[in-house]
Amino acid sequence: MSATQLVEGVLSGNRRDLARLISLIEDEEPSVPEALGQLYRHTGRGHIVGITGPPGSGKSTLVTRMTTEYRTRNKTVGIVCVDPSSPFTGGALLGDRIRMQEHALDREVFVRSMGTRGHLGGLARATSDAVRAIDAFGKDIIIVETVGAGQSEVEVIDIAHTILVIDVPGAGDDIQAIKAGIMEIADIFVVNKSDMPGAERKVTEINAMLDTDPRERAWRPPVLMTNARDGEGIAGLVDTIDAHRKYLVDSGLLAEKGLQRSREELKTIMEHKLTTELMEKLKGLPEYERAIKKIADRSDDPYSVAERLITKFLADYGRRVAESERKR
């Protein structure tokens, strides 16, 4: 089955087709770009929430609780878990598993763990494509859970409109880790496990850290406390995510981010396409092989050869485009 064959099913609300499409995205099946192209017009409606934080901080438990809250507010939810160490199906305590099973029976909730196949760059790409597919499928809220605070995790949740950074009481030193990479991207800080000693102090620490931020900003990330295990503070968290969405819309930032994203995405796709087409064309061309030998024996240099080959390719490319325009 190819990705393009699944488009219709995804748009008509077939969950199994959505799951299949995400598997093909992970496998980089050749027709995936075409399928995503067909889905594109149907995207841009869901609100994407990214959640990151150390392993064991209660992210999956929190996601489960938030999902319950969104469902009572009649919102449909998609969940993508990019934390191979703690997928929703395992890892969590029995209670969590039972709660998640409740959602598994709820047809308005779609849950997906992303595989660990491929390098992290590929995982970021696959995750954003999966989120896009779920968006086209029509979920109101799409939650992406990822572990850690490194650069690659930041890439994974780069697609999010609202980013939650989770921390837990104690372990005073990890505030440094937050400072290093994550402070800039957090829209909301959540101190989970508020039932444990030191939660209030953690909130104070994060607020103090925010006070040292010299940037002028209209949205100062709120610092909230939750107890995901017992479901405390969840409604407030969901309210705050709504408020952040409203801020993004009212300030024009959502539209601005959308433009920025589209600009980057088009550039990436064009770069990829040009490189692939160029290499496809050159591969096995006698002229190309001769040029490589000449570079190796120093009778020509790679700079001039690159210039010549690209100029020639662009001229050919232009002719081909003009021809297909004439035919239309």
Ligand X SMILES: Nc1nc2c(ncn2[C@@H]2O[C@H](COP(=O)(O)OP(=O)(O)O)[C@@H](O)[C@H]2O)c(=O)[nH]1
Contact positions vs ligand X (CB under 6 A): 55-61, 86, 91-93, 96, 192-193, 195-196, 227-229
* 26 vs 96, beta carbon nearer ligand X: 96
| Residues 114/23, Cβ–Cβ less than 8 Å | no
**83 lies in the binding site for Mg ion (CB under 5 A):** yes
Among 210, 147, 142, which residue's Cα sits nearest to residue 179?
A: 210
**244 lies in the binding site for Mg ion (CB under 5 A):** no
What is the DSSP annotation of 25-56? HHTT-TTHHHHHHHHGGG-S-SEEEEEEE-TT
Tokens matching residue 72? 């009572």
* Pair type for strands 223-225 and 188-191: parallel
| Residues 141/47, Cβ–Cβ less than 8 Å | yes
Tokens matching residue 3? 């990705």
Residue 192, contacted partner among Mg ion, ligand X, none, CB below 5-8 A by kind: ligand X
* 59 vs 65, beta carbon nearer Mg ion: 59
| Residues 87/81, Cβ–Cβ less than 8 Å | yes
Nearest approach, Cβ of 69 to Mg ion (angstroms)? 18
Nearest approach, Cβ of 273 to ligand X (angstroms)? 38
The residues, ordered by sequence, that sit 6+ positions from 59 with a Cβ below 8 Å of its Cβ are 51, 52, 53, 83, 86, 145, 147, 166, 192
Nearest approach, Cβ of 173 to Mg ion (angstroms)? 22
**128 lies in the binding site for Mg ion (CB under 5 A):** no
Nearest approach, Cβ of 230 to ligand X (angstroms)? 7
Give the largest CA-CA distance in the chain.
74
Cα first-last separation, the chain: 31
DSSP 150: S
* 6 vs 80, beta carbon nearer ligand X: 80
Nearest approach, Cβ of 272 to ligand X (angstroms)? 33
Residue 26, contacted partner among Mg ion, ligand X, none, CB below 5-8 A by kind: none
* 39 vs 163, beta carbon nearer ligand X: 163
* 85 vs 311, beta carbon nearer ligand X: 85
* 32 vs 163, beta carbon nearer Mg ion: 163
* Side-chain half-sphere CA neighbours of 221 within 13 A: 25
What is the DSSP annotation of 179-214? IIIITTT-SEEEE--TTSTTHHHHHHHHHHHHHT--
Nearest approach, Cβ of 54 to ligand X (angstroms)? 7
- Interactions with Mg ion, residue window 16-75 (CB under 5 A): 59-60
* 90 vs 214, beta carbon nearer ligand X: 90
Tokens matching residue 104? 């598994």
Residue 131, contacted partner among Mg ion, ligand X, none, CB below 5-8 A by kind: none
Nearest approach, Cβ of 51 to ligand X (angstroms)? 8
Residue 186, contacted partner among ligand X, Mg ion, none, CB below 5-8 A by kind: none
Residue 57, contacted partner among ligand X, Mg ion, none, CB below 5-8 A by kind: ligand X
Q: Which of 86, 146, 194, 227 binds Mg ion (CB under 5 A)?
A: 86
For Mg ion, the binding residues (CB under 5 A) are: 59-60, 83, 86
